[in-house]
Amino acid sequence: MKKRRKMKICVFAAGMALILAGCRSQTDGLEPSLPSGTEAASEISDSDHLPERLPETTSESELPETADADKSEASDVNFSDRENSEERALSFADLRGLEFTFSSGAGAWSTSLVIRPDGSFSGEYLDSDMGDFGDTYPNGTVYQSEFSGQLTEPERIDAYTYSTEIAAIDYEKEPGTEEILDGVRRLYTSAGGLEEPGRILIRLPGTPLEELSQEFRGWIGYFDPSGTSETALPFFALENENHQYGFRSYDLIERMDTLISDTAKQGAQLEEKLRTDASLDQAELNETSMNLYSLWDFALNQLWDALGKVKTESEMEQLTVRQREWIKEKEEAVRAAGAEYEGGTMKPLAANTEAAELTQKRVYELMEELKSH
């Protein structure tokens, strides 16, 4: 990882880390290439709602079995309670639905990862320097890595701490290599925060803040505990013991709930504008309807990203089959809606409105899929 500053942060920087981590999209390829202006929504390709690397499955019968349900179900034990935390051992299933983020806090770089019930993990490191450019890469430089691996079974150290180790880690692109894409130089690196990890400590909710090192606390937002009324850690966190780097956790469902709630509010405003704003001409109506569709389409892609973080590979393969079927049905319905106004200026409005309505419905369906985990 390219470090441009000493790895200590103040309370302000740690607070910024929490804000920025919540706003960052973790996978570049999931953001859709949306049509603009008055272009009809029916022209969108089916790649808009699927990740870059799709499994080549052709039928449900060809898909592998899903993971053992008994192993994938997280416990309802409250680990913030010391007595409960001693009742049974932590399993990786207890971390399902959480995303762990290691960030500079200054808006520069971050590493995010998720851990699945079988101890496998995957994530991404991302940094950028738009001031580092050249003749062949006028759009700046990006440092990144996509990685996956396997953790050893967690072992209890004390009532609030478990340890694990990285048994294996693989990178999508070999660290130290680079390429230029779309005018951007991409330098592939190792995963920031996972360098020479030795033991990875899993800190449980309820861990007394005074028992944590100042270095580690700084990374997770508690550089100076005297500045907060909290006395115990309110979330799961990971610590790279060798360097005391800290990854704090975020609940993916809470993030997606917030995103969908905000999307619904913005969507309602656009719908009201379409219904009541008599000052809009047809071109403006078409553009507003496209904005409405784009709003829900973005939420759909963010939700797909979140699903990919909590589901197993086989589960995502099956969901991908169903998503392709939905896309086909949606595009047929959008084409039919636009065909009623074929050759007229209202065709984009009709197509975009139908696409927005169907996509909104799909967002709520996939949210239920996410909550089922």
CB 143 within 8 A of CB 2: yes
Please check whether residues 144 and 263 belong to one and the same domain: no
End of a domain among 196, 217, 252?
A: 252
Verdict on whether the full-model pTM lies above 0.85: no
How does the average pLDDT of the chain come out, rounded? 80
- 317 inside domain: yes
User: How does residue 83 score in pLDDT terms, banded at 50, 70 and 90?
Assistant: low
At residue 7, the pLDDT reads: 35
The percentage of the chain sitting over the pLDDT mark of 90, rounded to a whole number, equals: 66
Q: How far apart are CA 233 and CA 217, in angstroms?
A: 10
Using the 3D structure, point to which of 252, 277, 300 is the last residue of a domain. Answer: 252
Q: Are residues 158 and 137 in the same domain?
A: yes
Q: Does the residue 343 lie in any domain? A: yes
Domain that holds residue 213: 11-38+80-252
Pair (108, 165) in one structural domain: yes
User: For residue range 139-180, what is the model confidence (pLDDT) as tens digits?
Assistant: 999 999 999 999 999 999 999 999 999 999 999 999 999 999
Q: How many domains does the chain have?
A: 2
Find, among 48, 39, 35, 34, the residue nearest to 347 by Cα: 39
| Domain co-membership, 211 together with 284 | no
pLDDT (tens digit, 9 = 90+) per residue, 244-257?
999 999 999 999 99
Q: Quick one: 191 and 133 in the same domain?
A: yes
Comparison of pLDDT for 351 and 86, the residue scoring more? 351
User: Which of 67-71, 209-213, 247-251 bottoms out in mean pLDDT, i.e. has the lowest?
Assistant: 67-71
Q: Do 286 and 173 share a structural domain?
A: no
Pairwise CA distance, residues 272 & 18, whole Å:
33
Pair 182, 125 in one domain? yes
Confidence of residue 52 (pLDDT cuts 50, 70, 90): very low
Tokens (6 digits) for 173? 């692109």
Domain boundary among 252, 284, 307: 252
27 found inside a domain: yes
In a domain, 187, yes or no: yes
Q: Are residues 144 and 239 in the same domain?
A: yes
Contact 79, 233 (CB under 8 A): no
Q: Is 330 found in the same domain as 290? A: yes
Domain identity same for 17 and 127: yes
CATH number of the domain at 264, please: 1.20.1270
CB 201 within 8 A of CB 157: yes
**Could you tell me if 119 and 169 lie in one domain?**
yes
89 and 128 both lie in a single domain: yes
pLDDT confidence of residue 48: 43
293: its two tokens: 């569709």
Sign of CA dihedral 155, 157, 160, 166: negative
Model confidence at 8, in pLDDT bands (50, 70, 90)? very low
Calpha distance 237→246 (Å, rounded): 7
Identify the pLDDT of residue 222: 85
Kindly state the average pLDDT of the residues 232-259. Answer: 95
In a domain, 59, yes or no: no
